[in-house]
Amino acid sequence: MRIRNLEPKYDDAVLLFDGKSLDDWHVKGESSKSKWAVGKAKMSQENPNMLLNEGGSGEMINLAARHGDSIDIYSDRKFGDCRIELQLMVPKGSNSGIYVMGEYEIQVLDSWGRTGKMSGGDMGAVYGASPPSINASRRPGQWQKYIIDFKAPRFDSAGNKRPGEMGKARLLRVELNDQLLHENLVMDKETPGGVENKESPSGPLMFQGNHGPVAYRNIVVKPVKK
């Protein structure tokens, strides 16, 4: 008989971005290189590889013009076991990433129209670890939604990571646009390019900003009750 996993109980949801300012976020590197802004994102009709900021509020927009034109951004708040829900928009051909705990990357890419076998670099991949089960991408310029259930790595009282499978981080479930991409995926190590480049009991949410334009909104984290 198969026993279904019980739905975890969560603490109060945390809205990581209030839609008004980036005061609760930090950039990774020199702030003068950041192209992150607050406003309303729209894919440019004249150049669909770009995002425009139409002003206003509600969305976190990386207005990078090309690869290397901006830098990564991460939250002040840190989390361990949690559910992450957010929406994102990528223009044509663009690339970003969602770093859970600042260290484990779920790929953001314009993979619309891709056929055949998905790769470890496509939209929805756990970068370098596992391709998505299907291509759930929407057209560039449309809003898309991720839901990520995450179990943090386990450490003992001395700060040492617990040995074996028990100590490893897990992506319990990853959905994109209501399609299941990953389930119970064990993370053997962190993804290169994170905030600290090492595993820890808790960490921030980071968005990759040095690979191209992208926008995020409705960024909610629900910590699992201890």
The answer to whether residues 76 and 25 touch, using CB atoms and an 8 Å cutoff, is: yes
Cα gap 217→35, rounded to integer Å: 16
Looking at the predicted structure, is the pLDDT value of residue 217 above 60?
yes
Is 200 part of any domain? yes
Report the number of distinct structural domains present in the chain: 1
Mean pLDDT of the chain: 94
Local confidence band at 136 (pLDDT 50, 70, 90 cut-offs): very high
Looking at the predicted structure, is the pLDDT value of residue 45 above 50?
yes
Cα gap 72→209, rounded to integer Å: 4
The answer to whether residues 107 and 52 touch, using CB atoms and an 8 Å cutoff, is: no
Cα gap 82→80, rounded to integer Å: 6
Local confidence band at 128 (pLDDT 50, 70, 90 cut-offs): confident
- pLDDT tens digit string along 165-199? 889 999 999 999 999 999 999 999 999 999 999 99
* Cα–chain center distance at 115: 23
Q: What is the pLDDT of residue 66?
A: 87
* Cα–chain center distance at 30: 22
| Cα 117-49-182 angle, rounded to 5 deg | 35
Task: Give the residue with greater pLDDT, 10 vs 218.
Answer: 218
Q: Which value, in Å, is the radius of gyration of the alpha carbons in the chain?
A: 17
The answer to whether residues 78 and 24 touch, using CB atoms and an 8 Å cutoff, is: no
Q: Which domain holds residue 76?
A: 14-223
Looking at the predicted structure, is the pLDDT value of residue 1 above 60?
no
The answer to whether residues 131 and 59 touch, using CB atoms and an 8 Å cutoff, is: no
Is 8 part of any domain? no
Is 3 part of any domain? no
Looking at the predicted structure, is the pLDDT value of residue 226 above 90?
no
CATH of the domain at 48: 2.60.120.560
Is 32 part of any domain? yes
Q: What is the pLDDT of residue 6?
A: 63
Local confidence band at 2 (pLDDT 50, 70, 90 cut-offs): very low
Is 170 part of any domain? yes
For residues 153-167, give the mean pLDDT.
91
Is 156 part of any domain? yes
pTM (two decimals): 0.94
216 beta partners: 60, 88
Sign (positive or negative) of CA dihedral 39, 31, 90, 191: negative
- Which residue type occupies 65? A
Is 164 part of any domain? yes
- pLDDT tens digit string along 54-108? 999 999 999 998 888 999 999 999 999 999 999 999 999 999 999 999 999 999 9
Cβ-based neighbour number of residue 93 at 10 Å:
13
Looking at the predicted structure, is the pLDDT value of residue 7 above 60?
yes
> In the chain, what percentage of residues exceed pLDDT 70?
97
